[in-house]
Structure 1
Amino acid sequence: MRIRATVAAVSGALALSALAVPAAQADEAPGSLAAVTPFGAVADEVVGDTVIKKVTVNGGKDIVVGTSKKKSVTISVTATDPSGIEDGYAFLWKGNDIDSGDVVGAMVPDAETGTCTTVNATTSTCKVTVVADPKDNIYSNVLAGKWHVFAGAAANDGDYNIREKYSSVSVKREAALTTNAAPEPVKKGKTITVTGKLTRANWDTLKFAGYTSQSVKLQFKKKGTSTYKDVKTIKSGSGGALKTTVKAGVDGSYRFVFAGTSTTPAVTSTADAIDVK
């Protein structure tokens, strides 16, 4: 089948012409990918009555990448055809158009074919695994945000269906958040200073760096209860620093909560307990 004969070429071409392209040279990526996709083309194309019913990436969750650990991501392609499904394939890519070579990043499977499970006589779900590696294909902060999902399915009778941009998935820079409330213990009515820091992965330097000018909520949970309540919202400053003051009332715990952005996931700090005398 077409999909089996050319998947290896896809992986190699994408890896060489897209994955490792530095940000400064991203717009110069080669435009030769069109000839080496599983069906010899990258534009949407349907031959026969093969239908891609569903594609799920990473269990429906955002792909969050830090500065050192590789992130394995499963892509499931469910397709149907009267003759049954022989194979399914998918990869992730970022850019505007594969055909013209406008690709700044890609995550492609090492396997030459998907691992397919039969649902019934006409339908199968095929899975592939791609890897997001901050030391390889996640090489720059420009790669944060929406990625396209390329999906294809081949039927037993030679029919096929390919979608260059079947759907999208968010690839985000891992975030970290801290909280410290002081002094402790503190007398009732006195001032408590709550500090912390909001940072996120910098894929250009492979280090965490401060995330500035972001809205972060301070929350408080009274001792003996289970619910946190909003106290105030503040902005992160230089280096992602957080600092605010509150009046001591009762024993409890403070924490900072960041809602996230299109390039950075939500994160909640570990709570810090305060003892009020």
Structure 2
Amino acid sequence: MRIRATVAAVTGALALSAFAVPAAQAADAGSAYRSDAARTVSHSASGKTAFTATTADDDLGVTFSNFKIAAAIKVGTTNHVSTTVTYTMTHGADYVLGSDDFANGPFLYKGSSSDTADNMLFGDAPADCTATSATTASCKGLIDVYPGDDELLNSDAGTWSAGALALQYSTGDGSVQDGLGKTNVQRYSKLTVNAAPEPVKKGKTVTVTGKLSRANWEDHAYHGYTGQSVKLQYRAKSSSTYTTLKTVKTDSTGNLKTTTTATADGYYRFSFAGTTTTPSVSAAGDYVDVQ
């Protein structure tokens, strides 16, 4: 699996020695939690003993339910992105909520299961949990994404599955549960528009140009999104509602160009409905004075 380089590099004796630090220190270190969470899932896939995934009647006695995550996570080229996840954690008496020795949190994986995931995303810190009974807790955690650190390839855009994990620092025990939800991790999109000439005589032609682009996670720049259907929309000066005039497609570099007839003062914009890999976006309206 591909995970952030600072996590993936921790292997062998170094990975085992990480669990020898005092539990309080481990719990206090947010960056350490990300590494520990990654090892919890990777060890569950390999069947090793340190932080091995187990079932509902494992040593930790932890399961997760009522998992809620945003339908989409929009990720640009460099900026850190966080999305909030909530869920219910059910645990046995051996899991002491609030103890520095225990932690839990959500994760995302690209693929059919975390055992065979192509890529995974974690939070920087454990989830915050509030007890709702002796054996249940309401939890809130984050998924943190760093596209500038090469966490993602363009092929990673699309549907990801969600899971949650629990771990105990002092024993190396861990629980991993897949299949709790789904979200789309999307390449952030941009859309521009320019309508000309300004002003224009009524009944004359207005030429509308623009460009649809999206984040490239591999070179950290924005490039044209080609062959996409985009709507040209118009809003009269006195109205608050846009109506669709026609649909046009982006060219080989993501550019748009079309014409329409000037009827009255108003705003022109392009609007893109989005895809699984790329979020919807609408350009800010460009005002044209019709004389």
Range into which the TM-score falls when normalised by the shorter chain = 0.7 to 0.9
Give secondary structure in 2 for the equivalent of 1:238.
Answer: coil
Q: Distance in 1 between matches of 2:262 and 2:220?
A: 40
Residues 244-271 of structure 1, C-alpha deviation per residue, up to 9 Å, x if partnerless? 1001111100111000000000001010
Q: Quick one: which of 263, 266, 270 aligns to 2:280?
A: 266
**Contact kept? 1:193, 1:246, Cα under 8 Å:** yes
**Contact kept? 1:180, 1:195, Cα under 8 Å:** yes
> Matched residues, percent identical?
41
Q: Distance in 1 between matches of 2:34 and 2:45?
A: 10
TM-score by length of 2: 0.75
* Alignment match, 2:270: 256
* Alignment match, 2:35: 12
> For residue 114 of structure 2, what is the amino acid of its counterpart?
I
Residues 97-149 of structure 1, C-alpha deviation per residue, up to 9 Å, x if partnerless? 433xx3322112333x4321123444311233231111225331011111121
Against the structure 1 CA distance between its residues 37 and 246, is the aligned structure 2 distance closer, same or farther, given a 3 Å change threshold?
farther
Q: Quick one: which of 161, 169, 173 aligns to 1:148?
A: 161
Q: Distance in 1 between matches of 2:36 and 2:139?
A: 22
Unaligned runs of 5+ in 1: 19-29, 155-159
Q: Quick one: which of 237, 241, 244 aligns to 1:227?
A: 241
> For residue 245 of structure 1, what is the amino acid of its counterpart?
T
Displacement after TM superposition at 1:90 (Å): 1.9
Against the structure 1 CA distance between its residues 12 and 51, is the aligned structure 2 distance closer, same or farther, given a 3 Å change threshold?
closer
Q: Quick one: which of 47, 52, 57 aligns to 1:47?
A: 57
> For residue 77 of structure 1, what is the amino acid of its counterpart?
Y
TM-score by length of 1: 0.78
1:204-223 matches, within 5 Å, as 204-223=218-237
* Alignment match, 1:181: 195
1:1-277 matches, within 5 Å, as 11-12=34-35, 33-35=45-47, 40-41=52-53, 45-47=55-57, 51-57=63-69, 60-80=70-90, 86=97, 88-99=104-115, 102-111=116-125, 113-152=126-165, 162-277=176-291
Larger CA deviation: 76-85 vs 258-267: 76-85
Against the structure 1 CA distance between its residues 37 and 255, is the aligned structure 2 distance closer, same or farther, given a 3 Å change threshold?
farther
* Alignment match, 1:23: none
RMSD: 3.4
**Contact kept? 2:164, 2:178, Cα under 8 Å:** yes
The structure in which a higher percent of residues are strand is 1
Unaligned runs of 5+ in 2: 1-22, 98-102, 168-173
Residues 158-204 of structure 1, C-alpha deviation per residue, up to 9 Å, x if partnerless? xx974222211110000000111000100111100011100000111
